[in-house]
Amino acid sequence: MVAVPDGQGLNVHSKAPLPAMPLRSLTLFLIVLPLIADGPALEQPRTLVDQYVAAAQGQKERLQGMAMEVEIEAELPKLKKKGHLFAIRKIASLGRITYDAIRFDGDKTIRNQVIARYMAAEAEVSQHDGESVAITPANYKFKYKGSRELHGRLAHLFEVKPHRKRAGLYRGELWVDSETFLPLREAGRLVKTPSIFLKRIDFVRDYRIEGDLAVPDRLQSEVDTRVAGKAILTIAYHLPAPPASDLPADALVSQSQ
């Protein structure tokens, strides 16, 4: 310590100055510091997105030809109408989705105006170019929100926002499994409704990991219609699928016309 007179007869103690850092070492430190602080933090989300896209593409190929049993429940609370459909959901070799109906219980309005229209819309979207609605950097902006636990698994959470308004795209969240990089949840609001009779469509689609596949588990959706008010749709997916009925879902769609 060095005693320094303060001009008032008091001694103020101060530390001796530290040795100066050599100019070469200081320059190297200033160059490396941004790489240490920002490099991994900026690179990780980009790497996670790339791993997710690769896993999702591989899954798309493996899902072709798969059939699942589905239970579809729908309700129009304003009209106090409900309905319940059992069906087989199939994914053809080219990715097209079709339904074979097994049994329906409930109001015909639910069957024709809610369930049949949903199945027709999903089938129509599946016929389009899959790349145009895929959750990829070409269609979406990804913002990393950190890691969370979901369904007992560690997941990476992304906020996703489409680059443009297009049928089949949504704004909301994407949850990616940290082990397989497959989707655990997609949730949000469609940026463009498939019909002028629909004002808004919100949804939550959950998956369960089965080996190297993310299998659809449950879909919950709320739809604001211009005529019947709010419609609530819930779909539960089951594996494996039993033998399909001879009654195709096209019969339901035709009855809604």
**pLDDT (tens digit, 9 = 90+) per residue, 130-143?**
788 899 999 999 99
State residue 163's pLDDT score.
96
Give me the mean pLDDT over the 166-194 stretch.
94
What is the Cα Rg of the chain in Å?
28
Instruction: Indicate the average pLDDT of the chain.
Output: 80
Residue of higher predicted confidence among 33 and 126: 126
> Which of 28-37, 50-59, 145-154, 243-252 has the least mean pLDDT?
28-37
Residue 237 has pLDDT above 70, yes or no: yes
Where are the alpha helices (H) located in the chain, listed in sequence order?
23-63, 108-110, 116-127, 249-255
What HEC string does 194-242 produce? Answer: CCCCEEEEEEEEEEEEECCEEEEEEEEEEEEECCCCEEEEEEEEECCCC
State residue 253's pLDDT score.
47
105-159 residue pLDDT tens: 999 999 988 998 888 888 877 776 678 889 999 999 999 999 999 999 999 999 9
State residue 100's pLDDT score.
92
Chain centroid to Cα 175, Å, comes to: 6
Signed CA dihedral, 91, 210, 205, 159: sign only: negative
Residue of higher predicted confidence among 187 and 39: 187
Residue 222 has pLDDT above 80, yes or no: yes
Q: Which CATH number fits domain 54-255: 3.30.70, 2.50.20, 1.10.10, 2.60.120?
A: 2.50.20
Q: What are the residue ranges spanned by the domains of the chain?
A: 54-255
Q: pLDDT grade, residue 194 (50/70/90)?
A: confident
Residue 256 has pLDDT above 50, yes or no: no
State residue 1's pLDDT score.
47
Count other Cβ atoms within 10 Å, centred on residue 199.
12
72-117 residue pLDDT tens: 999 999 999 999 999 999 887 667 888 999 999 999 999 988 998 8
